[in-house]
Structure 1
Amino acid sequence: MEEDHGFVARSLLRGAGSASLATATEGQPFASLVTPAVLPDLTVLLLLSDLSEHTRHLKTEPRCALLVQGQPETVNPQTAPRVTVTGLAEPAPPELKSRWLARHPYAAFYADFGDFRLWQIRPMAALLVGGFARATRLRQAELLPDPAAVAALAAAEAGIIGHVNEDHADALAAIATGLLGQAPGDWRMTGVDPDGCDLASPGAAGEAVARLAWPAPVADANGVRLALVAATREARSRLSL
């Protein structure tokens, strides 16, 4: 089966806890470390300080790029899968901050500082590098998730999260520890989208987060159910070994 490059690229972006942001001012490129959270439609959220260089750049030149990468296959860093996403940055609605904080709960103590603002980047295109010498250019239509699936899951998300957290906390715990290599804890689902779901658990060292990617994109709540059932079975099988 031919690889779904758009799904691979989205999974890398959605799973990244940090990214390199490329901006420019007066023709001079600049790179900085940022912490993204990704909405179901693949809009990228960033919480940025007005005092930072990259924020000043984006206010005058919204064109930018984000680079995220996965784990290398060998000691050679060039074997790591990675994706560079290009897009346009703009201020984001403040009510989306809770979505960003669900991905970065450690930031709650400074998220409301007066100089911090929520920004969003709308992806326009991407370059996916699957490893050494494996590059694929993706147009926006190839990169973004299916709009119908995004809409269907947006309508069902609250119900999915409520049901799973209320009735299947044991399954989430098995997935977190058995599949995702996380420490035991009170794991809860915090978000769901066509490509996977986000989990979080409070702990002594601060709230931990994890990302479960589906094996393939899902289109609706039933697709989420089937993916979670399969993940739970695999996780419990691994834990029983």
Structure 2
Amino acid sequence: MTDKPNVLRETDDEARKLAHTLLRGARSGSLAAIEPESGGFPFVSRVLVGMDVDGVPLILISKLSTHTKALLADTRASLLTGEPGKGDPLAHPRLTVQCEAEAVARDSEAHARIRERFVRRHPKSKLYVDFPDFGFFRLNPLRASLNGGFGRAYVLTAEDLVIESAATVSLAAMEAGAIAHMNADHAEAVKFYAERLCNAPEGDWKVVGIDAAGLDLAYGDQLKRLEFPAPMRDSSELRPLLRELYG
């Protein structure tokens, strides 16, 4: 009896970069949770997706919704990201992340940071983000399945997905100021990052997120993720790195 062929490829840096772009550059995704009232059937819903400074995906959902009740009863969840383009939708890359949902308390130290990052990415969420029935969850990755197209399947670990850098805390503290400075004083560089480095269409692109591993760029309802060649180790690397990318 012959062994079944292994359809998985070895996870390499190219696969990790694609996974990072699919997850960190997602505006929305499909969230699957376990609905207790149905006897454990999966319940899938579309959600807006944000990202915390450490690369952990964020969602903002109402306590009145089925998926919030499901996550509070059972923290296991899966998040699917990756938008289909023209032609066969299965020919386009997508990422399924198995996660453990962690509710973010409004009085926690992390809430203000998470709220600010999420609203910058999704400005319309400002209309309801402070409603008493809405709350954030961090979806802490456990493992992921990446389908990069036909014959390109990979398994990734939590370590492959999160951002591990000594610069994370200091970058979070300076993020808002750095974003305001880039958008006000370096608009041409921001435009270059989006249109030349991310192959985005022409537009009034803005920086909406900075972390140790890359930039989040937005124009209207479009979002692009620019991954740095390697995560920064210190926040002092930000200015020369952005200058080098523009050069």
**Is the shorter-chain TM-score for this pair beyond 0.5, marking a shared fold?**
yes
- Superposition deviation, residue 222 in structure 1: 6.0
**Greater shift in the superposed pair: 139-148 or 42-51:** 139-148
- Superposition deviation, residue 168 in structure 1: 1.3
Change over 3 Å in CA distance of 1:193–1:173 after alignment to 2: same
Aligned length: 224
CA distance in 1, matches of 2:181, 2:123: 22
Question: Is contact 1:42–1:123 with CA below 8 Å preserved after alignment?
Answer: no
> 124, 129, 143: which is aligned to 1:125?
143
**Greater shift in the superposed pair: 144-153 or 101-110:** 144-153
Post-superposition Cα deviations, 1:91-139, rounded to whole Å, max 9, x if no partner, equal 1143221211111102221222232112211111111111112111112
**Runs (5+) with no aligned partner, structure 1:** 202-206, 234-241
**Runs (5+) with no aligned partner, structure 2:** 1-11, 106-110
For 2:200, give the aligned amino acid: L
For 1:90, give the aligned amino acid: E
Question: Is contact 1:10–1:195 with CA below 8 Å preserved after alignment?
Answer: no
Question: Is contact 1:198–1:209 with CA below 8 Å preserved after alignment?
Answer: no
- The RMSD of aligned alpha carbons is 2.6
User: Which residue in 1 is equivalent to 2:182?
Assistant: 164
Does residue 181 of structure 1 match 2:201? yes
- Superposition deviation, residue 143 in structure 1: 2.5
User: Which residue in 1 is equivalent to 2:73?
Assistant: 60
Change over 3 Å in CA distance of 1:155–1:66 after alignment to 2: same
CA distance in 2, matches of 1:40, 1:122: 12
CA distance in 1, matches of 2:145, 2:238: 28
For 2:144, give the aligned amino acid: A
TM-score by length of 2: 0.78
User: Which residue in 2 is equivalent to 1:5?
Assistant: 15
Give 3-state SS (helix, strand or coil) of 2:190's partner. helix
User: Which residue in 2 is equivalent to 1:238?
Assistant: none
The 5 Å alignment of 1:1-241 reads 2-25=12-35, 26-72=39-85, 75-93=87-105, 94-95=111-112, 96-151=114-169, 153-154=171-172, 157-158=175-176, 160-177=178-195, 179-183=199-203, 185=204, 187-200=205-218, 208=221, 210-214=223-227, 216-219=229-232, 220-221=234-235, 224-225=238-239, 227-229=241-243, 231-233=245-247
CA distance in 2, matches of 1:143, 1:210: 19
* Percent identity (aligned): 35
CA distance in 2, matches of 1:71, 1:230: 32
Question: Is contact 1:40–1:193 with CA below 8 Å preserved after alignment?
Answer: yes
- Superposition deviation, residue 158 in structure 1: 4.7
Change over 3 Å in CA distance of 1:226–1:136 after alignment to 2: farther
TM-score by length of 1: 0.80
Change over 3 Å in CA distance of 1:112–1:159 after alignment to 2: closer
Question: Is contact 1:45–1:119 with CA below 8 Å preserved after alignment?
Answer: yes
Question: Is contact 1:196–1:211 with CA below 8 Å preserved after alignment?
Answer: no
